[in-house]
Amino acid sequence: MKSILSIDTSTNEGKVALLVDNSLVYENSFTSERSHNSQIFNPLEAALNLCERKPSLIVVGTGPGSYTGVRIGITAGLGISMAKEVKVIGIPSICAAETQNDIRSYSFLGDARRGETFMVNIKDHELVSSTEIVKSDESLDDKINISLNSIYTFDNGIHSKAIKTKPSAAILANLAYNIKESEIQRLSLIQPIPLYIRGPFITKPKKIGKTGPKMISE
């Protein structure tokens, strides 16, 4: 019996699914802005009970998405992996988006923060272009107008032509199920990490005067 446990917490709707011998036997979702860590345990418990508490493989969605949310799913997957001695791999959540008519090629838009948008192309559930940061609405309009792909996003208000969707734990599990064993062995040697759009933004501390920082009296 080949069982794939999948976890995705990259958006405010966390998801857990279990695929057994290429059949979806469990799927559950839970909505939360900040407390995925408190809601993920029950669906994980239910999924594990359906595969004798030891899946053949664990796959986690690596985003991009919520800074904290993505880490919760990855940490949960790593924890089960260590406890059960099961391989764990990561797949970008945007490669497992739910699409209309199950189309396999699309462009994806997302919030890159600082008033900017990222754009990336996906084909057959794989990234086929580097992530591009678009800095203005006018530039984004131009890129969308020349794109031959459907446009999807996980974010609200990203663009009028972008279709709002969400990642699918069932698709993640199916993708992992169809990966060759030799490739799984290679991927499992690499610890899943969140997919970042760009490096962290670090602000420098303000200069402190000769008298030191000001104290606020009570």
Condensed to tens digits (0 to 9), the pLDDT of residues 67-103 reads: 888 999 999 999 999 999 999 999 999 999 999 998 9
pTM above 0.75, yes or no: yes
Q: How many CB atoms neighbour CB 165 within 10 A?
A: 17
Parse the chain into domains and list their residue ranges. 3-95+166-188, 99-164
Confidence of residue 201 (pLDDT cuts 50, 70, 90): low
Tell me: pLDDT of 61 over 80.
Answer: yes
Query: Is 49's pLDDT higher than 90?
Result: yes
Percentage, residues of the chain above pLDDT 90: 76
Average pLDDT over residues 138-167: 93
Residue-level pLDDT at 31: 86
Q: Measured between alpha carbons, how far is 75 from 187 in angstroms, rounded to an integer? A: 17
Give pairs for 38-44: CB < 8 Å, separation 24+. 39/14, 40/7, 40/9, 40/14, 40/16, 40/72, 40/73, 40/76, 43/16, 44/5, 44/7, 44/16, 44/76, 44/80
C-alpha torsion 125→126→131→135, nearest 10? -20
Q: Kindly report the CATH number that applies to the domain delimited by 3-95+166-188.
A: 3.30.420.40
- So what's the pLDDT on residue 216? 41
Q: Which fold has domain 99-164?
A: Nucleotidyltransferase; domain 5 (3.30.420)
